Amino acid sequence: MKIVVLDGYTLNPGDLSWDGLFSLGPCQIYSRTTQEDVIPRAQDAGILLTNKTRLSGKTIAQLPALRYIGVLATGFDIVDVVAAKEQGIPVTNVPAYSTQSVAQMVFAHTLNLTQHVAQHAGSVTRGDWAAAKDFCYWESPLIELAGLTMGVVGFGQIGRTVAGLARAFGMEVVFSARTPPATPPAGTTPLPLDELLRTSDVVSLHVPLTTETAQMINAGRLALMKPSAFLINTARGALIDEQALADALNSAAIAGAGLDVLVEEPPGPDHPLLHARNCFVTPHIAWATRAARARLLDVAVDNIAAFLRGAPQNVVNP
């Protein structure tokens, strides 16, 4: 059964091996695929892998050889899973591969907003320290995390890992979850979302994108946050009303934001958050450590092998 990878470059720009895939059957790997090229490239594919190349129901219906879709990510909103199920095609994802890497990025952004390492290193490079009258100086207020409150929105594996790191920094942790655990982890307190936003000094988003969570952080909810609070998003860009966030940042309604995801990726040059006050945007790289990408590829191969054995795993449209 032929395997086709539509957009393999971000997963493996050359530092990983595709040998596991090639061991399962004939394999064609494309670095990138436009929407216009999906059908011709996937026409004879029995197994189709995609990261961010969208597979609509209309597209799936035009691929008669297709028997399996694997998403090279945890989120699977780029595939019409209902249409795939109607065609008898299982869709799989790769859960939990990037937990540690994403949690690490949450604190990279948090520490950037509170410690300003890059800003001060740049200042030193420009000669400001050499010209200083004192042994030290700071260009922005330095904020200690210990004693502050981390609000974790969504309490799956990544959210719980972020909570554990926050506790290691001496932070108080509150969280909101659709289904809170019967026994919250030690040192954590469940709260309704609006109360979490009022309480927290740092708010970190860790929920999937659904019709219920789309733009859950809107103008009204941003107004609940402390003027000194920071917002971190390593989940999905569409969880946030981006114009509302830009307005809140530019009016100093909140203190800053660290974002690894946007609604449109890559963004246009006039995107409001690229030039918003104290807003730091990274190019969707929280998941992309080599260790995380290697785990992703290993699980993707295991998913296909399980399907070929007749016992598919990590199916998101059972």
Angstrom distance (rounded) from CA 140 to CA 161: 29
Determine how many CB atoms are found less than 10 A away from the CB of residue 143. 17
Angstrom distance (rounded) from CA 79 to CA 287: 20
Residue-by-residue DSSP string for 161-216: HHHHHHHHTT-EEEEE-SS--SSPPTTEEE--HHHHHHH-SEEEE-----TTTTT-
Determine how many CB atoms are found less than 10 A away from the CB of residue 296. 22
Nearest to 206 by CA among 241, 257, 163, 248: 163
Cα–Cα distance list, 160 to 163, 184, 300 (Å) = 5, 10, 24
Which helix (H) or strand (E) is 299 found in, with range? helix 290-308
Catalytic residues: 236, 265, 284
